[in-house]
Amino acid sequence: MNITPIAYFHSPLTSKFGIPRQSGVADELVGTIVLEPEYRRDEAVRGLEAFDYLWLIWEFSANPHEQQGLTVRPPRLGGNERIGVFASRSPFRPNRLGLSCVRMEKVEIGENGPVIHVKGADLMDGTPIYDIKPYVTYADSHPEARSGFVDQKEWRPLRVEMPEAIGKLFSEEELKGLQQVLSQDPRPRYHDDDERVYGMPFAGWDVRFRVTDGVVVVVEANRI
């Protein structure tokens, strides 16, 4: 079976660094889904506005390397312990397919057809989307389900300190998303240097920060 993108995702996050490690953890992070020309027809999204959440099937297109081996090292386990690739949500997979649940905000009908506005996605800007399916509670919600190693490793968001002058560079919506992304600690799990400054592109700005004693401190932002 050959598959081709039906849409592309647009996000303020333009590199892999900083992408939330799961959908929903940065639930104010905005994004849009722009359909390919052959699907830019109102009937393709008829009835979609009746759903609150959507499933996106997409490609880890920024991972050019072939998957090596059958085990991976999840960040939630500190980046050191290995588990089977099919017991993880690692981006390094045999077919590089991702699955994300996002909150739908609205469907905007314009000159170029329908554009779907969502929040909470863990997709990089320019990510190809292969299918969109509605989330249905009776079949998709299992609140009592076990979650493997995730149940054993509690994760708490970090506190974010951002100078007011830097915060004013972003819209209110962008700022909420940026703060949530930073609170998830974008650094590789094996990094633990209080003095190291990291850069993350976001909404056209290179946001520079460091992490000290569990606090994300934003030090500057430069226009890209």
Mean pLDDT for 84-92 is 92
Parallel, antiparallel, or unpaired for β 83-84 and 97-110? unpaired
pLDDT at 147 over 90: yes
CATH fold of 155-223, please?
Answer: YaeB-like fold (3.30.2310)
Please choose, from the candidates 114, 116, 93, 92, the residue with its C-alpha nearest in 3D space to the C-alpha of residue 41: 114
Question: Do 7-61+96-140 and 155-223 have matching folds?
Answer: no
Largest CA distance in the chain: 53
pLDDT at 76: 81
Task: Please give the average per-residue pLDDT across 127-134, as a whole number.
Answer: 98
- In which element (H, E) is residue 149 found? helix 149-152
Closest CA to 96 of 71, 121, 65, 69: 65
Structure tokens at 32: 């849009």
- If you ran DSSP here, which 8-state letter would residue 109 be given? E
Please report, for the chain, the start and end positions of each structural domain, with discontinuous segments joined by +.
Answer: 7-61+96-140, 155-223
Phi, psi dihedrals of residue 187, rounded to the nearest 5°: -65, 150
pLDDT value of position 199: 96
Helix, strand or coil, per DSSP, at residue 70 = coil
pLDDT (0 to 100) of residue 84: 94
Average of per-residue pLDDT across 71-77: 86
Give the pLDDT confidence score for residue 196 in this predicted structure: 94
Please give the Cα distance from 34 to 32 (Å, whole number). 6
pLDDT of residue 191: 74
Q: 7-61+96-140: what fold?
A: Elongation Factor Tu (Ef-tu); domain 3 (2.40.30)
Q: Amino acid identity of 106? A: K
